[in-house]
Amino acid sequence: MKPEKRDYDAVIVGSGPNGLAAAILLQQHGLSVLLLEGKDKIGGGLRTEELTLPGFKHDVCSAIHPLAVGSPFFETLPLEQFGLEYIYPEVAAAHPFDNGTAAVLKKSIIETADGLGADRDAYIKLMAHLVKTWPGLAADVLGPLTFPKHPVDLAVFGLDALTSSTHLAKRFKTEEVKGLLAGMAAHSIQPLTNLTTSAIALVLMANGHLKGWPVPKGGSVKIADALAAYFISIGGKIETNTYISAFDQLPSANAVLFDITPKQLLQIAGHKFSSLYKWQMERYRYGMGVFKVDWALDEAIPFTAEGARQAGTVHIGGTMREIAFGEQQIWDGQHPEKPFVMVAQQSLFDNSRAPEGKHTGWAYCHVPNGSNKDMTGIIEKQIERFAPGFRERIIGRHTFNTRQLENYNPNYIGGDINGGVIDIGQLFTRPVLRRSPYRTSAKGIYICSSSTPPGGGVHGMCGYHSAKRALKNVFNISIKS
């Protein structure tokens, strides 16, 4: 049966990486697709602005993109033809310690392992098989729970990935590798003692060894710009400054895909859902928030450790014990005095980010959801701990607390940049327990945001899988992954 005639075959609400991915896949299959964005610029978390001083370009939300360059869907698109250029720091990530040294993640497993002392062989044993099998595993891991294409490799990965990072760390002896692992696992934005916190650490490290952790030249907005330009080139249509607060504001379409979280979807289309679906969505849980700071700097951050001075990303927090303690405090509603801090140094590698001789700094720490506490001083103290003289180099500063982040991007509920906590309770039930997590209880309405599998990150796979489901259900078009 053919779909009814509408204004468009499909409408996408929200132009983050997932909304863009969904729009592209639908348009690639000959449909008429309209992409709506509430702000005056597309991109969601992919935006770059002069937040501090003129000439200093800061990534407003996402900054470093190992998952974008490793995305099974994005890598099929000719984005370089639309202005996207990645820059690859030799040191993807560094983890400094109080003794002036740093553990570093490089593309070479051997070079990385050589800096881990007594844990050299143990690190190689952990990562070698995953790096070898990840290209085949990526589509299985970065998608909904289905029968895998590579069940044996996925089972091997799962044995490590489903454990807590504190448990995985028991394989190692040195503080260097435990600290490196803790910094990676902290990207999960939950206590390191939680099950599955090893997964994000392993995925990030594997992608670092395979392709690196790149910086988009000119800013993260260049990823969004390239995706949008490609979408338009194949016939897609984009409208900005179109904020949707009610379903009847939408043009008619056979399928509507929302790149928003459950809270907003209920506000817009809740009256169309079954009572059971609404009940499930209302119980969706959001996780910890973030407090973000951007700096205009007179000089680069003066990290004591050489590896940290060469890294695109620096994980601040010291030992695994310290990081785990701080993340647990935040989970419990407290603000630690020594939080884990994520730092990005884009201008070290991309001279378009700051005036000649100057630099930018980008950082955030985790805080309780909805926190209004100003963490600027605490964050700067943590960086100063590993980079004496850092404060003296600050010539401009811009901050976002959790409420300001949510005002800037409504998908960041209470400052939660992951679209909801990805703990064991929601890993396989994002956003609800259904055969298809993307299909709502209402005909033709889908959710394609990071509140669906595989969750947060700039990879577009939530949008890809949601659009794939809509193609099959609404338009009777089946595609292979």
Tell me the per-residue pLDDT of 93-112, one tens digit each, with 9 for 90 and over.
999 999 999 999 999 999 99
In a domain, 316, yes or no: yes
Is the domain of 270 the same as that of 352?
no
Is the domain of 80 the same as that of 91?
no
Is the domain of 113 the same as that of 79?
no
In a domain, 416, yes or no: no
In a domain, 254, yes or no: yes
Q: Which residues does the chain have with pLDDT short of 70?
A: 1-4, 481
Is the domain of 44 the same as that of 117?
no
CB 352 within 8 A of CB 56: no
Give the CATH number for residue 259: 3.50.50.60
In a domain, 101, yes or no: yes
In a domain, 448, yes or no: yes
pLDDT at 1: 52
Is the domain of 330 the same as that of 197?
yes
Is the domain of 350 the same as that of 302?
yes
CB atoms within 10 A of CB 118: 11
Is the domain of 77 the same as that of 105?
no
Is the domain of 293 the same as that of 279?
no
Cα torsion 97, 384, 457, 281 to 10°: value is 110
In a domain, 229, yes or no: yes
| Count of domains forming the chain | 2
Q: Which domain holds residue 245?
A: 8-84+216-284+421-475
For residues 218 and 390, what is the distance between their CA atoms, to the nearest angstrom?
24
Is the domain of 391 the same as that of 313?
yes
In a domain, 1, yes or no: no
CB 103 within 8 A of CB 180: yes
Is the domain of 229 the same as that of 346?
no
For residues 246 and 264, what is the distance between their CA atoms, to the nearest angstrom?
10
Is the domain of 302 the same as that of 191?
yes
Summarised one tens digit per residue, pLDDT across range 211-232 is 999 999 999 999 999 999 999 9
55: left (phi over 0), alpha (psi -120 to 50) or beta: left
Give the CATH number for residue 171: 3.90.660
